[in-house]
Chain A
Amino acid sequence: MTASLPALWDAGVLEALVAQSASLLTLDNFWLSALLKILLCTVMLMVVSLVGGYLEHKAMGHMQNRTGPMEAGPHGVLQLVADGIKFIQKEDIVPRAADPLVFAVAPGVALVPALLGFLVIPLGPGIWAEDLELGLFYALAIGSVGVLGILMGGWASANKFSLIGGIRAAAQLIAYELPLILAAAAVAIQAGSLSLVDIVESQATMNIFGTPVSMWFVFPQLLGFAIFVTAALAELSRPPFDMPIADSELVFGYMTEYTGIKFAMFLLTEYGGMVFMSALISVLYLGGWQPLPGIGLPGCEAAAGISDCGALGTVLGVGIMMAKIMALIFVMVWLRVAYPRLREDQLQKISWLVLIPLSLANIVVVAIGKVAL
Chain B
Amino acid sequence: MSITTPTKAPFGVGLMKGLGVTLKHLFKKPTTQMYPHERPDLAPRTRGVIALFDENCTVCMLCARECPDWCIYIDSHKEKLPAQKEGGRERTRNALDRFAIDFALCMYCGICVEVCPFDALFWSPEFEYAEYEIGGMLHEMDRLREWADTVPPPPALDDGADSPAEVADAIAAKEKELDAAQAKTDEAAQADAAEEPAPTAKAKPAAKTGTNVADVHVEGAGEQIDQAVYDEQIAAGKSERMARAKAKAAWVRAQKKAKLAEQAEAEADGGDGGDGGDEPAADAGASAEAPPKQALADVHVEGAGEIDQAVYDEQIAAGKSERMARAKAKAAWVRAQKQKQLDDQDGGDP
A binds B: yes
Number of A-B contacts (CB under 8 A): 37
Bound Cα distance A335, B22 (Å): 9
Contact: A337 with B30, CB < 8 Å? no
Tell whether A207 is near chain B: CB-to-CB under 8 Å: no
Tell whether B4 is near chain A: CB-to-CB under 8 Å: no
Q: How far is the CB of A144 from chain B (nearest CB, A)?
A: 28
Contact: B18 with A61, CB < 8 Å? no
Contact: A66 with B26, CB < 8 Å? no
Contact: B25 with A334, CB < 8 Å? no
Q: Tell me the residues in window 319-336 of chain A with beta carbons closer than 8 Å to chain B beta carbons.
A: 334-335
Which of these, B22, B28, B31, contacts A338 with CB under 8 Å? B22
Contact: B25 with A338, CB < 8 Å? no
Q: Tell me the residues in window 165-190 of chain B with beta carbons closer than 8 Å to chain A beta carbons.
A: none
Q: Which residues of B contact A70 (CB under 8 A)?
A: 32, 34
Q: How far is the CB of A142 from chain B (nearest CB, A)?
A: 31
Tell whether A31 is near chain B: CB-to-CB under 8 Å: no
Tell whether B236 is near chain A: CB-to-CB under 8 Å: no
Tell me how many residues of B have a C-beta within 8 Å of chain A. 14
Known: A67-B32, A70-B34. A62 touches B25 (CB 8 A): yes
Q: Which residues of A contact B32 (CB under 8 A)?
A: 65-67, 70
Bound Cα distance A66, B25 (Å): 10
Contact: A334 with B34, CB < 8 Å? no
Contact: A338 with B26, CB < 8 Å? no
Tell whether B282 is near chain A: CB-to-CB under 8 Å: no
Known: A70-B34, A338-B18, A339-B18. A64 touches B23 (CB 8 A): no
Q: Tell me the residues in window 15-29 of chain B with beta carbons closer than 8 Å to chain A beta carbons.
A: 15, 18-19, 21-23, 25-28
Tell me how many residues of A have a C-beta within 8 Å of chain B. 14
Contact: B34 with A337, CB < 8 Å? no
Q: Which residues of A contact B26 (CB under 8 A)?
A: 59, 62-63
Q: Which residues of A contact B28 (CB under 8 A)?
A: 62, 65
Which of these, A59, A62, A67, A334, contacts B19 with CB under 8 Å? A334
Bound Cα distance A63, B23 (Å): 7
Which of these, A59, A62, A338, contacts B21 with CB under 8 Å? A338
Q: Which residues of B contact A64 (CB under 8 A)?
A: 25
Q: Which residues of B contact A335 (CB under 8 A)?
A: 19
Task: Name the CB-closest residue of B to A333.
Answer: B22
1/0 contact trace for A301-323 toward B, CB 8 Å? Answer: 00000000000000000000000
Bound Cα distance A75, B208 (Å): 79
Known: A62-B25, A64-B25. A338 touches B19 (CB 8 A): yes
Q: How far is the CB of B24 from chain A (nearest CB, A)?
A: 9
Interface centre among B15, B22, B30 (most CB of A within 10 A): B22
Contact: B31 with A65, CB < 8 Å? yes
Bound Cα distance A333, B22 (Å): 10
Task: Name the CB-closest residue of B to A70.
Answer: B34
Task: Name the CB-closest residue of A to B27.
Answer: A62
Q: How far is the CB of B49 from chain A (nearest CB, A)?
A: 27
Q: Which residues of A contact B21 (CB under 8 A)?
A: 338
Q: Which residues of B contact A338 (CB under 8 A)?
A: 15, 18-19, 21-22
Q: Tell me the residues in window 277-331 of chain B with beta carbons closer than 8 Å to chain A beta carbons.
A: none
Bound Cα distance A337, B34 (Å): 23
Q: How far is the CB of A181 from chain B (nearest CB, A)?
A: 25
Q: Which residues of B contact A59 (CB under 8 A)?
A: 26
Bound Cα distance A26, B15 (Å): 46
1/0 contact trace for A211-239 toward B, CB 8 Å? Answer: 00000000000000000000000000000
Contact: A334 with B23, CB < 8 Å? yes
Q: Tell me the residues in window 104-134 of chain B with beta carbons closer than 8 Å to chain A beta carbons.
A: none
1/0 contact trace for A104-139 toward B, CB 8 Å? Answer: 000000000000000000000000000000000000
Contact: B18 with A63, CB < 8 Å? no
Q: Which residues of A contact B15 (CB under 8 A)?
A: 338-339
Bound Cα distance A65, B26 (Å): 7
Contact: A337 with B22, CB < 8 Å? yes
Contact: B30 with A65, CB < 8 Å? yes
Q: Tell me the residues in window 58-107 of chain A with beta carbons closer than 8 Å to chain B beta carbons.
A: 59, 61-67, 70
Q: Which residues of B contact A62 (CB under 8 A)?
A: 25-28, 30
Bound Cα distance A62, B28 (Å): 8
Q: Which residues of A contact B22 (CB under 8 A)?
A: 63, 334, 337-338
Q: How far is the CB of A44 from chain B (nearest CB, A)?
A: 26
1/0 contact trace for B76-104 toward A, CB 8 Å? Answer: 00000000000000000000000000000
Task: Name the CB-closest residue of B to A337.
Answer: B22
Q: How far is the CB of B251 from chain A (nearest CB, A)?
A: 70
Contact: B30 with A61, CB < 8 Å? yes
Contact: A67 with B30, CB < 8 Å? yes
Q: Which residues of A contact B27 (CB under 8 A)?
A: 62
Contact: A65 with B25, CB < 8 Å? yes
Bound Cα distance A66, B19 (Å): 17
Task: Name the CB-closest residue of B to A330.
Answer: B26
Q: How far is the CB of A82 from chain B (nearest CB, A)?
A: 17
Bound Cα distance A90, B22 (Å): 35
Bound Cα distance A61, B27 (Å): 11
Task: Name the CB-closest residue of B to A335.
Answer: B19
Interface centre among A62, A66, A339 (most CB of B within 10 A): A62
Bound Cα distance A67, B25 (Å): 11
Bound Cα distance A66, B28 (Å): 10
Bound Cα distance A339, B14 (Å): 10
Q: Which residues of A contact B31 (CB under 8 A)?
A: 65-66
Bound Cα distance A334, B19 (Å): 7
Q: Which residues of B contact A339 (CB under 8 A)?
A: 15, 18
Interface centre among B23, B26, B28, B31 (most CB of A within 10 A): B26
- Given A70-B34, A334-B19, 15 extra CB contacts under 8 A: A59-B26, A63-B26, A64-B25, A65-B31, A66-B30, A66-B31, A66-B32, A67-B30, A67-B32, A67-B34, A70-B32, A334-B22, A334-B23, A335-B19, A338-B21
Across chains A and B, which 3 residue pairs bring their CB atoms closest together, nearest first?
A338-B18, A67-B32, A338-B22
A-B contact pairs, 18 of them (CB 8 A): A61-B30, A62-B25, A62-B26, A62-B27, A62-B28, A64-B25, A65-B25, A65-B28, A65-B30, A65-B31, A65-B32, A66-B32, A67-B30, A67-B34, A70-B32, A334-B19, A334-B23, A335-B19
